[in-house]
Amino acid sequence: MSQLRTVQVLGGGSAGSSAHVGSLAAGLVARGVQVTVCAPAGLDRAYDFAATGARFAPVPRRSDPAAVAALRAACAGADVVHAHGVHAAVRAALALGCRRVPLVVTWHTRSHVEGARRRLLHLLERRAARAAAVVLGTSSDLVDRARRRGARDARLAPLATPVPCAPATVPDGKVRAELGAVERPLIVAVGSLVPDHGYGTLLDAARSWRRLDPVPLLVIAGEGRERAALQRRIRTEGRERAALQRRIRTEDLPVALIGSSTDAAGLLAAADVAVLPSRWESRSLMAQEALRNGVPLVATAVGGVPELVGDAAELVPYANAEALARAVARLLGDPAERERLSAAGPRQAASWPTEDDTIAQVLSVYDELVQPLATRRSH
């Protein structure tokens, strides 16, 4: 059989899906597969897909009408097209048209929208699910969702996240000193500042931690459209606290937004507790980083989080600030439980699929879809 030719299609490209495509492209190329990655040019600058040995074909973002035409040209001659995300899947299906080329869709995440946008999303999900020969869901609830949307074949495919090649370059003590948390507990959250990531609830929980002695420092690393609103709230509550106490020192401030961190792993490694307050997650990069580094994690029991972390993290309901506050405060006051979670995290991480496991599963799906087509063409 001739060399297998695949096209990997990314839309906007979240950090998780982009990292997965980079890992998948490198693994497939190493196994003799010809790979083309179709994505916005900005993603190639960030992830350097060409360095994996794949060919890179720039495709405009989903709002650009030229995207389907660019995809159609890139998919010419492909044996399998693999789209990552709902929007990428719909565009890939349009680009393929009536061609008898199998479409594989990996469903990495889900969106939470209301009103007319919710109805539109439902239609897009249904179109993506029905167009795919196989849907790979990164968590069990996504597999169920794909089946409800009409997928002919939906399978669980928990993805491996590439393990960093090198440890954090800045010592934990220096990180804590720079943040002003040498003699106080450090709580860390990492992620884009968007409504579904639950930072409003996290700030609600942080109010109760002001009663602890010493007052913990909550550091939130990330950027996003909620930054200004979160910063206003932090300042307002800081002024209120100062008025009550008639004095306030910078080192007593309970919350700090530090923007995007170039060393999120180092920041997490310095934390006493990591928090993940999201409305939904599949295989959270932040949760994986925390567990790999043995950092006690408190996370919401949503989406794929429970099956990802097992008993190696404390789980709380989404949008329940009281439960979140209690869980974190309990961990800060219980060194033995923090030690248990620190030991359990790396053990749980060792149970996750490796990059080789993920690539082998995807390649087996490709072979399963391509071989019957090759047999029919030979007759």
Q: What is the CATH number of domain 5-160+354-378?
A: 3.40.50.2000
User: What pLDDT, on the 0 to 100 scale, is given for residue 248?
Assistant: 44
To the question of domain 172-350 being in CATH 1.10.3720.10, the answer is no
Cα(105)–Cα(133) distance, rounded to whole angstroms? 8
Q: What is the pLDDT of residue 319?
A: 97
Residue boundaries of the structural domains of the chain: 5-160+354-378, 172-350
Residue 169 pLDDT: 55
Comparing CA positions, the residue from 57, 87, 61 lying closest to residue 74 is 57
43-81 burial: b if 16+ Cβ within 10 Å, else e: bbeebebeebebebbebeebeeeebbebbbebbeebbbb
CA proximity to 188, closest of 227, 221, 143: 221
Report the distance separating Cα 29 and Cα 5, nearest Å.
10
SS (H, E, C) 348-363: HHHCCCCHHHHHHHHH
Q: What pLDDT score does 250 carry?
A: 43
**335-350 helix and 285-292 helix, angle to the nearest 10 degrees:** 110
Rounded-to-integer distance, Cα 117 and Cα 122, Å: 9
User: What are the b/e assignments for 291-327, b being 16+ CB within 10 Å?
Assistant: bbbbbbbbbbebbbbbebbeebbbbbebebbebbbbb
Residue 38 confidence (pLDDT):
96
- For residue 239, which phi and psi values (nearest 5 degrees)? -65, -40
Neighbouring C-alpha atoms within 13 Å toward the C-beta of 11: 18
Rounded to 10°, the helix 199-209/227-245 angle is 20
Instruction: Give the Cα separation of 106 and 101 in Å (integer).
Output: 16
C-alpha span between 199 and 314 (Å, rounded)? 18
> Do 5-160+354-378 and 172-350 fold alike per CATH?
yes
d(CA 229, CA 272): 27
pLDDT of residue 121: 93
Rounded mean pLDDT for each run of 10 residues along the chain, 379 residues in total = 90 80 96 96 91 95 80 95 95 93 95 87 96 97 97 94 59 88 95 95 95 95 95 84 52 80 88 97 93 97 97 98 98 98 98 95 97 61
pTM (2 decimals)?
Answer: 0.87
With contact defined as beta carbons under 8 Å apart, do 64 and 42 qualify? Answer: no
